[in-house]
Amino acid sequence: MKKTYLFFIALCFMMPFVGAQETIDDLLKRYNKNNIPYISVQELAMPKTNAIVLDAREQDEFNVSHLKNAIYVGYDTFKLSTVEKQIPNKDEAIVVYCTLGVRSEVIANKLKKAGYTNVKNLFGGIIEWKNNSFDVYNTKNATTDSVHVCSPFWGKWLKKGKKVYPKTND
């Protein structure tokens, strides 16, 4: 495992002891630099929004559920060269999402530094998407209520749907 993934897992399990934020906005202000513009779930769901959607979570999270037609790019496994092959037009509208919007900002910044000009971060990630009753899909392309939430700290933000936590090797 890469150090960043281990750090993220440690952060997931340590957060309940650090203190709680009152809103998703507070959480994102605390962990993000806010140098990537947000797009709301309502705006992304509008038919006229024609953006390529990138999932910046890990494969096991993506397998549980993801936004329709999202392209898995990962976080620890992210490779800019793969995205550049899939999206050669650097002016293309791109929305990056993760669980709540922290990891997706990191990936969006990598895209921005590589010259992509129209990149946004989905505010509240897949949790906010599901909380607003928008559909998520499993690996069979069927709708599901399940959302991988990483830990009870992150899971507390999911108000609609079934919380799925990482599998342990007990």
pLDDT band of residue 170 (cuts 50, 70, 90) is low
- Determine the pLDDT at residue 83: 98
- Determine the pLDDT at residue 14: 46
CA separation (Å) from 125 to 1, 44, 94, 98? 24, 11, 14, 5
What is d(CA 110, CA 92) in angstroms, rounded to the nearest whole number? 15
Burial of 18 (0-12, 13-18, 19+ CB in 10 A): exposed
Is 3 a residue whose pLDDT tops 90?
no
CA separation (Å) from 142 to 47, 110, 166? 20, 31, 21
Pairing of strands 38-39, 162-164: unpaired
In the predicted model, what is the mean pLDDT of the chain? 90
Q: Give the domain ranges of the chain.
A: 22-164
Is 168 a residue whose pLDDT tops 70?
no
CA angle at residue 94 from 82 to 99, to 5 degrees?
Answer: 85
Q: Give the ranges where the chain is alpha helix by DSSP (H).
A: 3-18, 24-31, 41-45, 59-64, 80-86, 103-113, 125-131, 152-155
- Determine the pLDDT at residue 9: 52
- Determine the pLDDT at residue 48: 87
Q: Does domain 22-164 have CATH number 3.40.250.10?
A: yes
Its pTM stands at 0.86
Distance of CA 117 to the CA centre of its chain: 20
- Determine the pLDDT at residue 2: 59
pLDDT in tens, 7-41: 555 455 444 444 544 799 999 999 999 899 999 99
Average of per-residue pLDDT across 81-107? 98
Q: Which residues are catalytic?
A: 98
pLDDT band of residue 49 (cuts 50, 70, 90) is confident
pLDDT in tens, 100-112: 999 999 999 999 9
